Amino acid sequence: MKNNYYTISKDNLYTLLRSLSEESDIYIPVEKNDHLHYEKFDPEAKEDYVIDQIRSSEPAKSFFTSSRERVDNASGTLEKERRQVLVGIKSCDIQSLKIQDFVFSQTEPRDPFYVKKREETTIISCDCNKLWDSCFCVALDIDPYPEKGFDLNLTKYGEDFIVEVGSDKGRKLVDDNKSLFSQADESKVKRRSTARESFKNSLKSQVRERETPQRDAILGSVKKSYNDEKLWEHFASTCIECGGCNHCCPTCHCFFLSDERKGGLKARYKSWDACLYSRFAMVAGGANPRGHLYERLRNRFDKKFEFFQNVLGIFACTGCGRCTEVCPGKIDIREVLKSTIKCK
């Protein structure tokens, strides 16, 4: 156990990133308009990146599938793939990769573009120590700090970070840069647990105050709500079908394939799709299983809380709150779930 914990000073961490940036693209959050956004790490820049705090506005999936990418064999995408390091990814996004991995790399046929990106990526995650009004991961039994799914995880500790090694890739990173890390003693690891508990408790109070339903209560509730059309019509009444909830969601994975001709080139593209769009399920003959907007909104919840629970045993929702935050119709995922759990 003990061997997996280190400390690294802020200066040393940036030294490490500068060194890694020679052969990898490093993405790291910066603060803009009170939110965190990922930018490519600039080794020359002032060190005002924000590694800790809270999830970024971009979902982690955007580092593994592009909103639009070419996927035919002639694209050459696979050969061009560069190594990337993601710094400051938060627990909700780590959890979301379980869904993306299931879809694109664990079920046959595997998506070679996703698999390659995943292989070429190093994840240096970080615990949360700040919360948005929209955060509710703990209601879904997801902690605001990751236990698995990272190569290295950081916990802010004064100006330094406590480092946990989570994979062979992470182990190699520490071993190759030994001089930058110091072994963490047990008291530091203990203090990390205390800090984690205390932050988790503040999230728990937010969840309690807002009466956000817990995972156990949500289980099966969307299925029970199928026939309550009024409920879904009510929540869909302010939806403008922008697809924002789909695109910012870290677990939403749906895409469409399109073929294009440019000059003599015949290319196939894979682009993010959104199940709120009216033509999402429509077939060429015009039949549409979800012609009504309320049916599409219900479908989104069905996919997240029934389908993935049934096929994988987890919700395709990590409580990151991005959908609630971006929705111009002010549809709050927690309020929807508060209603579904009342359905008999």
Q: Residues interacting with another protein, by CB under 8 A?
A: 71-73, 103-104, 107-112, 115, 226, 253-261, 265-268, 270, 273, 275, 280-291, 295, 298-299, 303, 306-307, 310-311
Residue 35 to residue 42: CA distance in whole angstroms: 19
Close Cβ partners of 286 (under 8 Å, ≥ 6 residues apart): none
Decide whether 85 or 103 has the Cβ nearer to another protein: 103
**Min dist. Cβ of residue 308 to another protein (A):** 10
Decide whether 291 or 328 has the Cβ nearer to another protein: 291
Do β-strands 121-126 and 152-157 pair in parallel, antiparallel, or remain unpaired? Answer: parallel
Decide whether 157 or 305 has the Cβ nearer to another protein: 305
Close Cβ partners of 222 (under 8 Å, ≥ 6 residues apart): 298, 301, 302, 304, 305, 306, 340
**Min dist. Cβ of residue 279 to another protein (A):** 9
**Min dist. Cβ of residue 217 to another protein (A):** 21
Decide whether 25 or 229 has the Cβ nearer to another protein: 229
Residue 310 to residue 36: CA distance in whole angstroms: 33
Residue 150 to residue 127: CA distance in whole angstroms: 11
**Min dist. Cβ of residue 259 to another protein (A):** 5
Decide whether 195 or 281 has the Cβ nearer to another protein: 281
- Token pair, residue 323, equals 């959908």
Angle subtended by helix axes 293-302 and 333-340, to nearest 10: 90
**Min dist. Cβ of residue 326 to another protein (A):** 20
**Min dist. Cβ of residue 164 to another protein (A):** 31
Decide whether 12 or 75 has the Cβ nearer to another protein: 75
**Min dist. Cβ of residue 284 to another protein (A):** 3
Decide whether 201 or 258 has the Cβ nearer to another protein: 258
